[in-house]
Amino acid sequence: MTAIPFYQIDAFASQPFEGNQACVMPLDGFLPDGTLQAIAAENNVAETAFIVAKKPGHYALRWFTPAVEVPLCGHATLASAHAIYTHLGFDGEEIAFETVQSGVLKVRRLSDETYEMDFPAPKVEKIAVTEDVAAALGAWPLEAWGGPFYAAVFGTPEDIEELKPDISLLKTLGVSGIGGNWERGNFGCVAPGGADGADLTSRFFAPGSGIDEDPATGSWHCMVAAIMGPRLKRPLDCYQAYPGRGAKIGIELIGDRVKLRGDAVTVIEGKFTL
């Protein structure tokens, strides 16, 4: 039997029960894909991150939901950096994560113990709002954008908080656009303003990735930065309004890159036995 170190971390959270859950599991080498997917399904949190050390401060990284491997995951990258700094003894200036589809992602721990991630800014384009999407969301957006996901822009934070989408309908929807098909069944919703001085409030529904609603989504906030950053032209404090949890995510669009900032806290430490 093999025992794999296991850390469950609340990412984009300053205390337990906030943000989004991620499991981080350091490996000597990646296990077969079917085994990685089975472990993620067993963990049954939004993402399980598997990391393999290449050299000090440099890791290979893959992310799995309980259902699929994903090309980019912000909160599990933050959780991985937190595990490396907090539990694996790294004290360097920056961690580099080598990924399959998103290139090299860099994370550093700031002087206030929060983390800053450097991600690629996605290409986005404005698209028409359609009746099928409005019906699935249960509300008509002011704008719609395409990119890695379908983005719906609303007028107020209350619009976002009151959304009660038809998840089964959302899962079937998707449109053709930049680089081929945007991921079917993955919808972000955002509006200006929010509680405690937030610049933006959002939610993210991801039945296409096996998650009805995600509590804190870094990859979605890269798209938020690409859409809203050029309008406001400054760092933005975002609140992802998942019912019962909530997450604070700092974003800043700098050229073709996005800075994502947030906290993380470990809630479980142990071993996963195969």
- Render pLDDT for 161-174 as a digit per residue (tens, 0 to 9): 999 999 999 999 97
d(CA 185, CA 97): 27
pLDDT at 113: 86
Question: 264 is written with which tokens?
Answer: 């993380």
DSSP 171: T
Q: Which amino acid is at 38?
A: A
Confidence of residue 183 (pLDDT cuts 50, 70, 90): low
Rounded alpha-carbon distances, angstroms, from residue 195 to 224, 238, 239: 18, 10, 8
pLDDT (average), residues 88-92: 94
Residue 175 has pLDDT above 80, yes or no: no
Residue 85 has pLDDT above 80, yes or no: yes
d(CA 190, CA 165): 14
Confidence of residue 182 (pLDDT cuts 50, 70, 90): low
pLDDT (average), residues 136-153: 95
Active site residue 47: yes
Q: How far apart are the first and last CA of the chain?
A: 6
Write down the catalytic residue from 18, 42, 47, 269: 47
125-254, CATH topology level:
Diaminopimelate Epimerase; Chain A, domain 1 (3.10.310)
Architecture of domain 3-114+262-273: Roll (3.10)
For residues 101 and 272, the model is more confident at: 272
Location of each CATH 3.10.310.10 domain in the chain: 3-114+262-273, 125-254
Q: 265: how many CB neighbours lie within 10 A of its CB?
A: 17
d(CA 135, CA 269): 43
d(CA 203, CA 241): 6
Q: Which of 64-78, 80-94, 180-194 has the lowest mean pLDDT?
A: 180-194
196-250 tens-digit pLDDT: 899 999 999 999 888 899 999 999 999 999 999 998 889 999 999 999 999 999 9
Residue 7 has pLDDT above 90, yes or no: yes
What mean pLDDT value characterizes the chain?
Answer: 93
d(CA 75, CA 13): 10
d(CA 59, CA 84): 10
